[in-house]
Chains A and B, each alone.
Chain A
Amino acid sequence: MVNEGRDIVSITSDLIRGNTETIILSHLIEKDSYGYEINKSIKKKTNNEYELKEATLYTAFRRLEQGEMIISYWGDQTTGARRKYYKITAFGKKVLEQNKVDWEEAKSLIDSLI
């Protein structure tokens, strides 16, 4: 039984990992944000169950930035270390819309298969 439970969790985390970029984009469409804040929000929305590994998160940032879906800028924190903020671009918004459509399609496809 324990094993079964773990399998379900791993399917979910695989799905989350597979959609990291879309998740980031949908956070950034609400407001500009930085790594830890996005991760905190993911944790909160999933009732403390999921959190992205930093390596996954920052790799996704690099990819999104290279694909010109987001841009970055340094915040002007007066105390403590500087934060790097990310902002979604017009192209990023388009990609997000398309990804959402794709996801709905995939969802109904998987539903019909299992």
Chain B
Amino acid sequence: MNKELKIYIENAFKYAPKTKKAYELKEELLSNLNEKYNDLIESGYSENDAYNNVVAGMGEVDELISELYQPTSDNFELVQKERKKSALIISIAVMIYILCPIPVIFFLDAFGVENAGILVMFLFIATATGLLVYRGASAPQYVKNDDTVVEEFKEWKSKNSKEDNLKKSLLSAFWSIIVAVYLIISFAFGIWAYSWMIFIIGAAIEQIVKAYFEYKRS
């Protein structure tokens, strides 16, 4: 195998993505170019002329390599799958939130006990919140392809949106806790006339926390 040719191809593939596809293309190119080189040598070319001939005949190899970056259909399917998974998790979590008052009503009606129902309700809320936080934390992150500014920007954006996802999950947890506290206080003390104020307090707390994070970021 011609060493210079190998070095030339290695260099051309320096910034190619580290994928099986890229390695296979490199191997394919190398074996074909090498065969061409050997044929030229056999037909009487000097090593130098043969090398130059092979390199000149390649054309825009960069274009060939840049195509390796284009998302393949596999990749697209993977993204779709992740999206579906994420939607499923959200739907289940929301369903659990909606169903969480049922144990309270059920235990109260069937056995006349309040505490057991509230305990189960909290378990429901914890499960749903756990699901949402898991979704926020496990969403696939964009991994940069190369060291260009555009790629860095994409990664930065992805990181930020991941932070946003976490924030959204925590916020929804916060609001479900507010609802839980509202129900517990109201049932336990029978102060339905005043207990709704907790929603106003909740909104105020949310705004204060948001303002604090904005302040910290800037």
Contact = CB atoms under 8 A, between A and B. Distances in A.
Contacts of A62: 67
A80 interface: yes
B57 interface: yes
A40 B38 CA distance: 13
B148 interface: no
A36 B73 CA distance: 28
Residue among A40, A59, A66, A81 with most chain B CB within 10 A: A81
A54 B27 contact: no
A109 interface: no
Contacts of A66: 72-73
A66 B36 CA distance: 26
Given A36-B36, A81-B34, A82-B31, A58 B63 contact: no
Nearest to A36: B32
Given A36-B32, A58-B25, A53 B63 contact: no
Contacts, number: 58
Given A59-B64, A81-B1, A54 B59 contact: yes
Contact of B63 (A35, A36, A59): A59
Contact of B31 (A39, A59, A83): A83
Q: Number of contact residues on A: which range applies?
A: 10 to 19
Interface in A49-71: 51, 53-56, 58-59, 62, 66
B29 interface: yes
B33 interface: yes
A40 B35 CA distance: 11
A108 to B, nearest CB: 32
Interface in B41-99: 57-61, 63-64, 67, 72-73
19 contacts: A35-B29, A36-B33, A36-B36, A39-B36, A51-B57, A53-B57, A53-B60, A54-B33, A54-B58, A54-B64, A55-B61, A58-B28, A66-B73, A81-B27, A81-B31, A81-B34, A82-B31, A83-B32, A84-B31
Interface of B: 1, 24-25, 27-36, 39, 57-61, 63-64, 67, 72-73
